[in-house]
Structure 1
């Protein structure tokens, strides 16, 4: 697939920013930390959206990410849809935690890959205001090549699953609040 030079990239780094004092902090054996991300997003033409994502804690870089929807939702299919980013974040986060564990424990891992199926459902009516989406399930298949004992790898998988922020947000849902302004005025809670 060739890219059109006039089409902006789907993901691009806007600002490089990290604190050398924080390098390798997440590779410590014992941790107590909080990760904070800030996102500003806007709707563009058709179903395209643009988000600016900044990692505030630990101090990290800022990226611009574009998403779109397929023609079935009136989009142009010019970038991954939001659910593709969500699904990828589940896989990326788990692989990060598994890799981090293997590094801290100095495990001999030759290869680590996964295949994942993420399923969602939608029911109801837009016109009647009853439309409701929900997640159905996430099934992850890990493929690990290693000469480490099975029990060591089992422990790595357990710690990886338990320390993966995204998996834990699915298994133990976090509070979510939407505060709205219309024409600059805060919308009162209903």
Structure 2
């Protein structure tokens, strides 16, 4: 039996609808249910039309938004008064040579500054932010090795991914 307090489960299906534009149907299954369509595109640098945020823009926004949300949610539960939260994030990746493709992406650095306005004692605010970081699903995903499984189908026939 799992010790989980709750589960978070999403699924997404994407379709190519332009040069590099994608439309992704996102479904949240647990702990809430919602369906949304989110589009991504690339800028002119990559050959796109810049009609929507890039996947990395969504990624960094997700990281900042998740941590900000957790700080406010945890503040209520821990009864710590928080008047304001501001987060600045600097994220860097690098493109490295790849033996097959044009390049391979690698994360280089994530720097996050958290600025909390609160009447609570600084050590309580520090505890709050630490707890919120542990509760931020995006930051926790970044902070550990993850198993990512791929299945490949070419013309309807399943293939072994390289």
Shorter-normalised TM range: over 0.9
Matches within 5 A, 1:55-94: 55-94=28-67
Report the alpha carbon displacement of residue 106 of structure 1 after superposing the two structures with TM.
2.2
Matched, 1:105 2:78: yes
Whether contact under 8 Å (2:150, 2:161) holds in the other structure is no
Deviation at 1:130, TM superposition (A): 6.6
The equivalent residue for 2:101 is 129
State the SS of the aligned residue for 2:139: helix
Distance 1:131 1:78 in 2: 24
Q: State the 1:131 CA deviation.
A: 2.2
Cα deviation 1:7-66 (Å, max 9, x = unaligned):
xxxxxxxxxxxxxxxxxxxxxxxx612100011111221110110111101132111001
SS of aligned partner of 1:109: coil
Q: 2:146: which partner in 1?
A: 174
User: Matches of 2:78 and 2:133 in 1, distance apart?
Assistant: 16
Give secondary structure in 1 for the equivalent of 2:83.
Answer: strand
Distance 2:89 2:101 in 1: 32
| Aligned equivalent of 2:112, options 132, 140, 148 | 140
Task: Name the CA distance, whole Å, in 2 between partners of 1:110 and 1:76.
Answer: 40
Structure 1 ranges of 4+ moved more than 2 A: 128-131
For 1:105 and 1:129, the matched residues in 2 are separated by 49
Q: 1:40 aligns with which of 3, 13, 27?
A: 13
Matched residues in 1 for 2:147 and 2:48: separation? 30
Instruction: Give CA-to-partner distance per residue, 1:102-153, whole Å, 9 cap, x none.
Output: 0112221111111111111111157x43721111111111111111001100
Length, aligned pairs only: 159
> In structure 2, what is the Cα distance between the partners aligned to 1:125 and 1:93?
32
Structure 2: runs of 5 or more not aligned: none
